[in-house]
Amino acid sequence: MILNFLRAVVPLFSLFTGGFSLNHSRPDIVNIGAIFSFGTINGRVARIAMNAAIEDVNSDPSILGGSKLVLSVHDSNYSGFLSIMGGLKYMETDTVAIIGPQVSEMAHILSHLANELHVPMLSLTALDPRLSSLEYPYFIQTAPNDLFLMTAIADMVSYFGYRDVVALYTDTDQSRGSITALGDKLVERRCRISYKAVLSPDTLVTHEEIIKQLVKVSFMESRVIVVDAFPKNGLLVLDMARKLGMLEKGYVWIATSWLSTLLDSTPVSKEVSMSIQGLLTFRPHIPNSQRKTAFLARWNKLSNGSIGLNPYGLYAYDTVYMIANAVNVFLNQGGRISFSNDSKLNGLHGGALNLGALSVFDEGEQLRDNILRTNMTGLTGNISFGSDKSIMNPAYDILNVIGKDFKQIGYWSNYSGLSVLPPEILYTRAPNRSSSNQQLSGVVWPGKTKVKPRGWVFPHNGRRLRIGVPDRVSYKAFVSLNEKTNKIEGYCIDVFLAAIKLLPYAVPHEFILFGDKHKNPSYMELIRMIRSNVFDAAVGDITIVMNRTRIVDFTQPYIESGLVVVAPVRRTKYSAWAFLRPFTPLMWVVTLAFLLIIGVVVWILEHRINDEFRGPPKKQFITILWFGFSTMFFAHRENTMSTSGRMVVIIWLFVVLITTSSYTASLTSILTVQQLAPSITGIDTLITSNDLIGYQEGSFAENYLTEELNIAKSRLVALGSPEEYADALNERRVDAVVDERPYVDLFLSDNCMFQIVGGEFKKSGWGFAFPRDSPLAVDMSTAILTLSENGELHEIRDKWLNARACGLPSFNDSEQEQVQLKSFWGLFLICGVACFFALLINLCFILKKFNRYFPRQSDSWSMGIQRFLSFVDDKELEKPKNKLKRKHLETHLQVQASN
């Protein structure tokens, strides 16, 4: 506050003291210079903006406290030599800072001079990322350098799902550095620059050279083209591309900020407009503000309508203000602007160049540090520098060219990546670079289509795709050469051809057999031949495993696979307790408990009316046990006379029928499995044993067994054909075979005396192999998924791999054959409920009769209970009608016996 007060008071005080000033140490004039080619768009815009800034700074005494900022301009006129001369001129005229040079080539040279003479150089257009390095401490980029622009392009390329990019650029320092940065950023996103088309610098390039490079680009696979050039060259490239038909559907053209700068500042003809339709371009993002709006309103007057304002004009204006503020802080700190001769140049006095006149800015380091500590709000928004001397929080508008105008499709910021919201809104939120948060609006692409181009086509260079195919000597249903037709066919070939038909472009190809026709080839060697460019792809029964994915890219699996163990069926010894295995222990306990429960329940229901359930206690106990267990075999001799007893017995006999039938079926199954079960039960058994293991020659199973499972190679036996499998297993040359499931299914369909033991392990799948980062792998994966969804993949499998099943039981956990209680708890519940209600009804009848024959007396409770138990134990008297019937029956039986 005190400093601002002094700034306001000092000019007034000077009026009354005859010009005496408290700031007596402040110079009257502060010189700065500018080096531009003022015939270029950015040179013209920057000159107008810098002059406006100088005028505004000098009209505001609070900025420099009465000192006058003087700007000298030097026109390099597209010449590097003149740029160097301009730099040398400023170094001998007490210039405290230089704005420029305009291009990075000169910045690399003049930065060494600035380092020596301590004169800060500030450039808003020399944006080579390499210029921000520690090698150039006095060079400051006052606009976002191209590293951020290339990061934005890489993010957008990744967002649209493209993987290959063609870079077309001029052979200058700035473009080379920018394209190098683009390549690095693309690699971070698993993308790449597949081809670099280099053009001569601006004044040297010819039409013939551009056409030659564009023709080369047209033969590339990638249709995503990034153009980094000067506006004049860029328009020429696009015009030639339009005439060659390269601005039609299928292409993606991305221009760096040169195109937005051109359209912001100059009108374009109808012909030029046709050459830029559907292009994507970038523009430094300038947030809206009152100061920006006011300056835009002034621009027509400042420029006399000669040129439009672009973002670099705003950066030029702010650059002047950065210098003015830094000088003001420097002077307020008591600094004095002084220059001294460089002792290293003392021997260079005289001569035409007079290099000895060059002077060192003694306080240049302090002024540079003040500039890097800038923290102000300018026309371009908040301005500050990071530790790497780059502008903080850089952002870009992402634009789609339609007609002569732009369509804003989104923004890119170093804070949150791609978005449809302006960066200044996102700055109020937590940074979020998740894929779901990256968003852009719809694009009108070249050819006036809204359908996103594929970004890749098969190259039209006349060469067919060379596809390596394993020349199998076994399992030829998967892939083989038909000697009658001399065509390669099989399940894998049919899947590949069906997928190729679904691609929206032609893929000329030829199948080339790989192998010696004597044994199955090495699939790893086939994969390596793709990397060495012997083959462009490989089609066949190729398993997707980790060490292969490090070399090539695979498509989506078109068939599931996994290693399994095959063993011969052999007899095993019977177990002495095998008869107990059909039921689980809990099932046995519950069944035996119900046998006793049923015996007790029936005894209670029949005891008072049935003589067979009466007698001495020992006899009654034996009757209970006998009746319960004899029902298991339907061999009970005792008759039941009560209705409730008969109901319980009927329900229980139904339960017995179901359980005994299940027991018999389960025991039969278990004994059959015991008879046929192999001694090997899965891969775990093989690992812990010393059994010999067979594997298919050429398969990845050998490496997996030795490297992953640590099985000694001496235990492995290579086998070639299904016949060798069967012979080796039957002759006990191997104890088991480890192979992939599709092969095993075919093998077992003709060899039913062998069986898969255990489950699948090392699950994987088969896919087609392509070179790393091949877009064809992605398109073929989509086609394979389509085949799977429409059922065609299943039809092809049925055609070639329709194997019949042998129907033998699989040897997994034997508990699956056991009868468990959870399957029968409903039956036992019904039986238990029936017993409960039968006992309850019987108790009610007994109580009723007891109360009738023994009216309630004044006996004690113990006497009453004894009398009731005695009544229950007594035999129930028969009704007279029943006695007459029984007597008549006995008489009739006696008569028949006497006759």
Residue type, 178: S
Higher pLDDT residue, 546 or 505?
Answer: 546
3-state SS record for 686-728: HHHCCCCEEEECCCCHHHHHHHHCCCCHHHEEEECCHHHHHHH
Q: Do 714 and 720 meet the contact criterion of CB atoms below 8 Å apart?
A: no
* 759 pLDDT above the threshold of 70: yes
Burial (0-12, 13-18, 19+ Cβ within 10 Å), 785: middle
When pLDDT is averaged across residues 811-827 and rounded to a whole number, the result is: 62
pLDDT for position 186? 94
242-246, 260-264, 425-429, 615-619: the lowest-pLDDT one? 615-619
- The pLDDT value given to residue 8: 45
Going by C-alpha positions, the residue among 99, 108, 102, 123 that lies closest to residue 40 is 102
∠ at Cα 887 (886, 891), nearest 5°? 115
Beta carbons within 8 Å of 231's beta carbon, 6+ residues apart = 41, 258, 259, 261, 262
The pLDDT of residue 270: 86
pLDDT of residue 553: 94
How far, rounded to the nearest angstrom, does the alpha carbon of residue 176 sit from its chain's CA centroid? 32
Residue 225, SS3 per DSSP = strand
CA-CA-CA-CA torsion sign (335, 337, 342, 346):
negative
CA distance linking residue 370 with residue 547, whole number of Å: 56
* pLDDT surpassing 70 at residue 648: yes
pLDDT of residue 887: 53
Which tens digits make up the pLDDT trace of 668-678?
766 665 554 46
Note the pLDDT tens digit of each residue in 838-863. 778 777 877 777 677 666 655 666 66
d(CA 626, CA 631): 9
pLDDT at position 699 = 85
Beta-sheet pairing, 480-482 with 537-538: unpaired
- Mean per-residue pLDDT over the chain, rounded: 83
Strand partners, 693: 716, 736
Q: What is the mean pLDDT of residues 154-163?
A: 92
Residue-level pLDDT at 730: 84
| Distance from C-alpha of 799 to C-alpha of 611, rounded to nearest angstrom | 75
Q: Does residue 589 have a pLDDT over 60?
A: yes
* pLDDT above 70 as % of the chain: 83
Q: Which single residue is written with the structure tokens 């420097």?
A: 330
Q: What is the mean pLDDT of residues 498-502?
A: 91
24, pLDDT greater than 50: no
Q: Where are the alpha helices (DSSP H) in 92-191?
A: 104-117, 146-159, 173-188
From CA 752, how far away is CA 742, in angstroms rounded?
A: 16
Residue 755: beta bridge partners?
A: 567
Q: What backbone phi and psi angles, to 5 degrees, belong to 449?
A: -115, 145
Distance CA 346, CA 355 (A): 9
Phi/psi for 695 (5° steps) reads: -145, 160
- Secondary structure of 286-353 as H, E, C letters: CCCCHHHHHHHHHHHHHHCCCCCCCHHHHHHHHHHHHHHHHHHHHHHCCCCCCEEECHHHHHHCCCCC
355 band by pLDDT with thresholds 50, 70 and 90: low
N-terminal to C-terminal alpha carbon distance within the chain: 146
304 vs 223: CA distance, rounded Å = 42
Where residue 778 falls among pLDDT bands split at 50, 70, 90?
confident
Helix (H) or strand (E) holding 524: helix 523-531
Q: What is the DSSP letter of 879?
A: P
Quick one: which of 166, 163, 181, 111 has its CA closest to 139? 111
Kindly state the average pLDDT of the residues 791-809.
76
- Size (the chain), residues: 899
Say what the pLDDT of residue 834 is: 78
Say what the pLDDT of residue 819 is: 66
DSSP string, 766-799: E--EE-TT-HHHHHHHHHHHHHHHHTHHHHHHHH
- List the 29-36 sheet strands across, edge first: 68-75, 29-36, 95-99, 121-123, 139-141
**What interhelical angle do 173-188 and 146-159 show, nearest 10?**
40
Stretch 764-780: mean pLDDT, rounded?
89
Is the pLDDT assigned to residue 100 strictly greater than 90? no
pLDDT of residue 345: 58
pLDDT of residue 753: 79
With bands split at pLDDT 50, 70 and 90, how would you rate the model's confidence at 13? very low
- Contact by Cβ (8 Å): 562, 761: yes
- β-bridge partners, 408: 399
- With a pLDDT cut of 90, the percent of the chain lying above it is 42
Helix axes 775-790 and 792-801, enclosed angle (nearest 10): 80
Confidence of residue 181 (pLDDT cuts 50, 70, 90): very high
pTM above 0.85, yes or no: no
Least confident of 98-112, 434-448, 879-893: 879-893
User: What is the rounded CA–CA span in Å between residue 710 and residue 152?
Assistant: 49
Q: Within 10 A of 161 (CB to CB), how many other CB atoms are there?
A: 12
Q: How many angstroms separate the CA atoms of 214 and 245, rounded?
A: 10
Range 290-297, long-range pairs (CB < 8 A, 24+ positions): 291/377, 291/378, 291/379, 292/379, 295/52, 295/379
Confidence at 10, pLDDT banded by 50, 70, 90: very low
pLDDT band at 156 (very low <50, low <70, confident <90, very high): very high
10 Å Cβ neighbour count for 77?
15
**The pLDDT value given to residue 460:** 59
Q: What is the pLDDT of residue 19?
A: 37
pLDDT range class, residue 5, cuts 50, 70, 90: very low
**How does pLDDT run across 601-619, given as a tens digit for each residue?**
777 777 666 666 666 777 7
Mean pLDDT along residues 263-272: 89
pLDDT of residue 2: 40
Per DSSP bridges, beta strands 339-341 and 280-284 are unpaired
For residue range 318-343, list pLDDT tens digits in order.
999 999 999 999 998 888 888 887 66
Do 359 and 339 touch, CB atoms closer than 8 A?
yes
* pLDDT of 18 above 50: no
Of residues 749 and 548, the one with the higher pLDDT is: 548
pLDDT band at 372 (very low <50, low <70, confident <90, very high): very high
Ranking 8-17, 220-229, 476-485, 630-639 by mean pLDDT, the lowest is 8-17
